[in-house]
Amino acid sequence: MKNRLPHIILFMVGLVVCSGFLKAESARSVETTAKATILEILQLVKVQDMSFGRMVNGATGVVELKPSGERLATGVTAIGESGWRPARFEVRGTANYEYYIGLPTDITLEKDGNQIVIEDLVARPSSASENALKGIITADAYFTVGGKLILASPDLPPGEYRANFEVSVGYN
């Protein structure tokens, strides 16, 4: 124990020196401050699934579902007065920090082997006035996701086409 004590002291001195706190016995001294910021763990929760609503089969075209909730159909007839909605995700983390959004390139919906593809997925963070893949964390931060549904064949049978998709977020 007697032999180890000087070594332990030396070890502690080494720590102090390396952490930037240097105080020499000479007339000149230098002080520096080391800072570290601990961010809250980023959390992502889905609060609303995405739905394109109802469309009439027998034609080809595109149904665009915007993150704002607006639905636009080209070439096909989209019906119903409601029933379509963008996906919505809540983001929790350290306030005022920027986060980025990761979206899939496309999504393939299926029904009994028949497929419909969603392309051009876009997001709109609550902190932004237009579509973006970056947002600012606030107390109630969220982002919505939309995309373009491609009806490539007029022969697609009626029914409900579904898929799951994954999004991610990270501190920027």
Residues near other proteins (CB under 8 A):
7, 10-11, 14-15, 17-19, 41-46, 48-58, 63, 77, 79-81, 87, 89, 102, 107, 109, 116, 118, 145, 149, 151, 156-170
User: Minimum CB separation from other proteins for residue 143, in Å?
Assistant: 11
User: Minimum CB separation from other proteins for residue 25, in Å?
Assistant: 19
Q: Which long-range contacts (CB under 8 A, 24 or more apart) does 37-41 make?
A: 39/93, 39/94, 39/97, 39/171, 40/92, 40/93, 40/94, 41/93
User: Minimum CB separation from other proteins for residue 142, in Å?
Assistant: 11
User: Minimum CB separation from other proteins for residue 115, in Å?
Assistant: 11
Residue 55 vs 122, nearer CB to other proteins: 55
Residue 32 vs 164, nearer CB to other proteins: 164
Tokens (6 digits) for 23:
């105080």
Q: Which residues of 121-151 are buried (b: 16+ CB within 10 A; e: fewer)?
A: bbbbbbbeeebbbebbbeeebbbbbbbbbbb
Residue 44 vs 136, nearer CB to other proteins: 44
